Chains A and B, each alone.
Chain A
Amino acid sequence: MIGDYTYVEFSSILAMQGFAGLSLFSVFVLMALGLAIIFGQMGVINMAHGEFMILGAYVTYFCSLFFQEYLPSLFGIYFFIAMILAFFVSGALGVVVEWLMIRHLYKRPLDTLLATWGLSLILQQFYRSVFGAREVGVTLPDWLLGSISLTDIIDVPINGLFVMAITLTITLGVAFIMYKSTWGKQIRAVVQNRTMAGAVGINTKMVDRMTYGLGCGIAGVAGSAFTMIGSTGPTAGQLYIVDTFLVVVFGGAASLLGTIASAFTISQAQSTMEFFMSGSTAKVLTLLTVVGILMLRPQGLFTLKIRR
């Protein structure tokens, strides 16, 4: 016996909380991937990342309404279309924002914090005025509802599995783009030395714009996946921005693998502890641990070892 639980119950709780942690991990990874590109690679402190995410969530919401109204026969697959749309809508907004604002600030990274924070306030008010202050939730197609019972006690929700599958696909996609494709090479070259990248023949302005767009697009997809887990409101993005930065900084800013490892650690710690104590105590403990580790290892979990 552990406390009031038997061993079987206890291990089932651990397993289910572990799975809930994996769902949270997926959402963290999705959000952090976009930020790992924008903040980790480009060095832009994007405070509006949450709002790009929420835009994706709203796109998904309207997509679900549209399919319910006009194409009920295809309702089962609307989610895939919504995700693609979310990617392009958030990505397009990202490209516009880069052109209007960010491109003037590459040499002043701290100012990007202020500028994007302003942007996030503007976007929040825009959502509130246009979509209304009330939180909205999407209707999931039937095949995403319910759960699979592994044992008598352990139930695994299907939408959680679905989010994980999406996360895996997108992570692999991003890894491929960053490390295998020509575009990825150009992104990394520009990030490392913008002037020199231009002098070897890379159109740096174009690469910057597309990279920012890609990061925002991925945030949009994250928002789309997010609708399955929480409800969508104008300020919902705010709740997640701190966690997302925490994940990226803890993982080591320039490393995708680090981002994933740190998302895993933080989400598992959080969701396992949440069951045994209140949410905020769990959060405090997680934050304290992360702060402690970062004091010992300021560069984050993973870094590239090269001569400087």
Chain B
Amino acid sequence: MLSIDKLRVSYGQSEVVHGVSLDLKPNEIVAVMGRNGMGKTTLMKSLMGIVPSGEGAIKLDGNSIEKKESYQRVEDGLAFVPQGRMIFSTMTVTENIETGLTVTGKSKVPEDIYELFPVLKEMKSRRGGNLSGGQQQQLAIARALASNPKVLLLDEPTEGIQPSIIKEMARTLRKIRDERGLSIIVSEQVLSFALDIADRVLVIENGEIVHESNREDIDAEKVSAFLSV
């Protein structure tokens, strides 16, 4: 579905991601784990075209997208839920979701999005900035889903969210995957969440993938050793 080949990303002269390769299969959820400063967010941003990528190729459904602008990547089927949510805080909940509809050409929020996140329907005309952290996270996911993506990128979705809602979120994301048949890349630091949701876990350290295993045969201790400081 999404294939990344020897991707290199740098900020000015300093290279942060050193040749990461990753093949995301259709309907698969991959968790990219790693400590702070190891390149998770940079990887996500370069996939989305927010940070320009240096060498390497990114292919979505066989089409090269590494030279495209962010909005064109969304047209091709990528969607992004950034770290810190980044919802449009002065716009209402409905308007926030509607911004995600831009590439579909629709103007009304499809009902199935509200079915996934009933709380957003209740809060419809509240300003996004006045929602709680967990609600904002749901809003950010709803906004991303509005563009009907093939691949969903989530950057540290559990950051700053209480444990019970994290469980709930894992369930919702799996449900979204099953219902819509999309693929998900999620970057994470919380191992339990990753094990809950992912089919495959990768560990990124200093901008390189250093460990990879399927969920069935994952060595949780080894992964958590990578994550501990």
Residues of A within 8 A of B (CB): 182, 185-186, 188-189, 192-193, 195-205, 254, 304, 306-308
Contact = CB atoms under 8 A, between A and B. Distances in A.
A203 B88 contact: no
Contacts of A197: 88, 99
B79 to A, nearest CB: 8
Interface string B73-91: 0110001101000101111
A202 B80 contact: no
A306 B130 contact: yes
* Most chain B beta-carbon contacts within 10 A, residue among A189, A197, A200, A205: A200
Interface of B: 48-50, 69-71, 74-75, 79-80, 82, 86, 88-91, 95, 98-100, 102-103, 107, 127, 129-130, 143-144, 146-147
A250 B70 CA distance: 36
19 contacts: A185-B91, A192-B90, A193-B88, A195-B70, A196-B86, A198-B69, A198-B70, A199-B48, A199-B50, A199-B70, A199-B71, A200-B74, A200-B99, A201-B100, A201-B103, A204-B70, A205-B69, A307-B129, A308-B129
A57 to B, nearest CB: 34
Contacts of B70: 195, 198-199, 201, 204
Nearest to B72: A203
Contacts of A306: 89-90, 127, 129-130
A192 B130 contact: no
A192 B95 CA distance: 13
A201 to B, nearest CB: 3
Contacts of B100: 200-201
Question: What 9 A-B pairs have minimum CB-CB distances, sorted nearest first?
Answer: A201-B74, A306-B129, A198-B70, A201-B103, A196-B86, A201-B102, A199-B80, A189-B99, A203-B71
Contacts of B89: 192, 306-308
B91 A202 contact: no
A306 B93 CA distance: 13
Given A186-B99, A189-B99, A196 B75 contact: no
A201 B90 CA distance: 19
Contacts of A200: 74, 79-80, 99-100, 102, 143-144, 146-147
Contacts of A196: 82, 86, 88
A197 B71 CA distance: 8
A110 B70 CA distance: 27
B50 A198 contact: yes
Nearest to A189: B99
Given A189-B88, A203-B71, 18 more contacts: A186-B102, A188-B88, A192-B90, A195-B86, A198-B50, A199-B49, A199-B70, A199-B82, A200-B79, A200-B80, A200-B99, A200-B143, A201-B74, A201-B75, A201-B102, A202-B102, A203-B69, A205-B69
B147 A185 contact: no
Contacts of B48: 199
